[in-house]
Amino acid sequence: MNSLSDKLAQERRARLAAERLLELKQSELREANRKLGLRAETLSRRIGETEAEVATVRDENQRVKSDLSRAHAKVELAERRMWLSLQAIRDGFAFFGQDGRLIAANTAYMSLFEDLELITPGIGYDVIMELLVGEGLVDPGEAGPNSWLQKMRGRWQSARSEPVVIRMWNDRYLRLMDQRGHGGDFVSLAIDITETVQTEAELEAARLRAEAANRAKSAFLANMSHEIRTPMNGIVGMTDLLEESDLDNSQRLYVQTIRKSGEALLAIINDILDFSKIEADRLDLREDPFDLEACLHEVVRLLAPAAHDKGLLIEIDFDLYLPLQVIGDAGRVRQILTNLIGNAIKFTETGHVLIRVSGTAGETNADSHISIAVEDTGIGIPDNMLDQVFGEFNQIDDQKSRKHEGTGLGLAITRRLVEMMGGVIAVDSTPGEGSVFSLNLPFALPEDMPASPNWPVLPSVRVMLVHPHPLSRAVLQKHCAGLGLDVLTASGIAEARQLMGPDFGMVITSQTLPDGQGRDLAERLRSDGWMQTQIALLNDGPQLGPEELRSDHIDTILPVPLERASFIAFFKEGARTLPTTALPPPDVAPPIARAMRILAVDDNATNRFVLERMMDPLDIDLRLACNGHEAVEAYLDQVPDLIFMDISMPEMDGRQATGEIRRFEEMHGGHVPIVALTAHVSPEDQAEILAAGLDRFLPKPLRKPDLLALLREFRPSEARSPVPETAARQA
């Protein structure tokens, strides 16, 4: 029993153990299945992801293939379009490889070779150039075929080829422009410039024709000027001589009318010549140092008689502290001033003409300017004419009722000259009251020239200014005050005598006063007991000689307008000791042995007659010659002290004669002053004449005062004064 129970117990235990083992295995199997399921799920997920990636890559590949196809199509389209474009253009276009062989070329390039079968892709660049020369397709020019080929090979070997123009056999012109790429490929462009070359040739021919026309016009104008001035020299010269003779009032009026008409004609000629040069851009400006103040005073002295004839006051207000010299074209500045001041006098019947000159000196020349204003009390300019006043051939007067003569070119020329100098000009006017023309000019200073004069310190002195015109009193007072002088003004004799006192060291009086003359004021001041007071008389009326103004009661005569240096020297040195303004002492010099020897050369009989008559009253030894040969012979026969030389003469002109004389002087020493007498008056003519060895330039028509001035200047010390006292007064 026990054994059965034991066996049953064992079986039960074995069954329980088997059940537990089975349960364990089942549990392990379940765990394994669970893990396998998880693994399978992971693998399945990974497979899904991989499949998605594969699908994505497949789609991307498909898209790339599609893009590549489209890009390839676009490239093919672009290549076709580019090639069609290259084929369509008229210029040749070719590609060469690194080895210099032709890869491709458009039809225009291939047509250059006139269907030569050898010109195909693969042919070398060097061979193409040889064929061009060998087949006569290109014109190598004067250099020849070998030099042309050498030049073209040099271009090929160069890293950077300059464009070159070649001429084809059929007179077509090509510009070759070549460019080497980074990989060594070579691009050649052959541009047909035949039309451009033809146009340039036509333009060049037109330019040459225009220059020839300009030269012909300039020569015509110069010749016209010369031909007109030559007879005008006789007219103006003879009228000057007639005015010096005994004439009744009617005859003198006739002669003056002839002279003024001749001078007006010369002014018209000058305007036309200048305007023609400006229009042709042939007018050049000089850049030389010059004295602007002296230039202005020369113009005013020239125009003052016309102002005095009309009873006009002409006054200069020149800034005391402007530089003594500036750089520019003195002749053209003088022309500008003459036009502006001359117009002011012409269009003013009563009142005054005032010229104000001021300026600013900057740190550089570009910052330095001179301002000139010409003010008048004339007829003025209507508002509707202000914009036209600087135009060509414009006149303020109505054309049907013109009162004032002229070409209408003066202001147009003035504006052009001012603009050429880098300046500006403007006008401000009120009809019936007057006009102000103002211009502003940049200027440069000569080296070592201070921007402002170093005027000396003046002694302390009280000055009385006696003048009937408020404007002149104001200008004089301004300059005196600028010099630190104590100034009191009076308008006439009575007021001056009333204000006079012992503290006045100097009196400056006008020539003409409302209640008498300046000499009358001087006489009364002396009679009042003012014997030590310096009295100066302004020669501001009709220009009279020293003898006519001389008075025992006047210490000094001051010329008007008065330049700054003379004005300041007058106060510094004192009236009694100022040599430049004091009355000249009588001529008591002992007689000198010989007369001054003058040689005058002119091929025109009338001009010789005018010269002879002008010099007839003078104490000179005058010899006349008709041409250059006679001039040289006369010079060798007896060396003159001064030669007046005409320029345009037959056989031997004045330049050649001067050259012969100068060569003789180089061999034997000496130098005779030679003055050109000529109707060629342009600056270019003047420069050319002076370069030929002449010393001075005297334009025709000749004026006697100019001749006398040259005689005085060049008189040698051993010769008598050529100008007798009576002639000196008349001059």
Confidence bin at 717 (pLDDT 50/70/90): confident
User: Tens of pLDDT along 355-404?
Assistant: 999 987 655 555 678 999 999 999 998 888 877 788 765 555 544 334 44
Percent pLDDT > 70 in the chain is 85
**Predicted local distance difference test score (pLDDT) of residue 730:** 44
Percent pLDDT > 90 in the chain is 17
In this prediction, residues 80-93 reach a mean pLDDT of: 72
- Tokens representing 42 are 């992971």
Phi-psi region of 529 (alpha: psi -120 to 50; beta: other; left: phi over 0): left
| 8-state DSSP, 2 | H
Confidence bin at 549 (pLDDT 50/70/90): low
User: Tens of pLDDT along 218-243?
Assistant: 667 666 766 777 777 777 777 877 88
Burial of 329 (0-12, 13-18, 19+ CB in 10 A): buried
Q: Are strands 326-328 and 352-360 parallel, antiparallel or unpaired?
A: unpaired
User: Tens of pLDDT along 109-137?
Assistant: 787 777 677 778 888 888 888 888 877 88
Q: How far is CA 14 from the centre of its chain?
A: 136
SS3 of residue 178 by DSSP = strand
* Residue 721 clears pLDDT 90, i.e. is over it: no
Q: Are strands 596-601 and 642-646 parallel, antiparallel or unpaired?
A: parallel
Rg (CA), the chain: 50
Closest by Cα among 378, 414, 375, 418 to 396: 378
| 8-state DSSP, 289 | E
**Predicted local distance difference test score (pLDDT) of residue 623:** 92
Q: Terminal CA-to-CA distance of the chain, rounded, Å? A: 191
User: Tens of pLDDT along 442-471?
Assistant: 888 888 778 788 887 777 788 999 999 999
Looking at per-residue pLDDT, the higher value among 631 and 211 belongs to 631
Confidence bin at 508 (pLDDT 50/70/90): very high
- Tokens representing 592 are 């000198």
Q: Are strands 326-328 and 288-290 parallel, antiparallel or unpaired?
A: antiparallel
User: Tens of pLDDT along 410-423?
Assistant: 788 888 889 988 99
Helix 194-243 crosses helix 249-279 at what angle (to 10 degrees)?
170
In this prediction, residues 590-613 reach a mean pLDDT of: 82
In this prediction, residues 166-186 reach a mean pLDDT of: 80
Phi and psi at residue 441, in whole multiples of 5°?
-125, 130
CA distance 674 to 18: 158
**Predicted local distance difference test score (pLDDT) of residue 688:** 80
Residue type, 103: I
- Asked if residue 427 lies in contact with residue 391, where contact means CB atoms within 8 angstroms, the answer is no
CA distance 533 to 50: 129
- Asked if residue 621 lies in contact with residue 597, where contact means CB atoms within 8 angstroms, the answer is yes
User: Tens of pLDDT along 671-702?
Assistant: 999 999 887 666 667 778 888 899 988 887 78
Question: What count of residues does the chain have?
Answer: 731
| 8-state DSSP, 148 | H
Residue written as token pair 């250099």: 143
Q: Are strands 434-442 and 424-430 parallel, antiparallel or unpaired?
A: antiparallel
Confidence bin at 142 (pLDDT 50/70/90): confident
In this prediction, residues 602-629 reach a mean pLDDT of: 88
- Asked if residue 417 lies in contact with residue 335, where contact means CB atoms within 8 angstroms, the answer is yes
SS3 of residue 675 by DSSP = strand
* Residue 6 clears pLDDT 70, i.e. is over it: yes
- Tokens representing 390 are 């600087």
User: Tens of pLDDT along 283-335?
Assistant: 678 888 889 998 898 888 878 888 888 889 999 999 988 888 889 888 889 88
- Asked if residue 661 lies in contact with residue 632, where contact means CB atoms within 8 angstroms, the answer is yes
**Predicted local distance difference test score (pLDDT) of residue 465:** 92
Q: To the nearest whole number, what is the mean pLDDT of the chain?
A: 80
* Residue 13 clears pLDDT 80, i.e. is over it: no
Looking at per-residue pLDDT, the higher value among 143 and 206 belongs to 206
- Asked if residue 694 lies in contact with residue 671, where contact means CB atoms within 8 angstroms, the answer is no
User: Tens of pLDDT along 480-491?
Assistant: 888 888 889 999
Alpha helices in 310-450, H assignment, sequence order: 330-346, 410-420
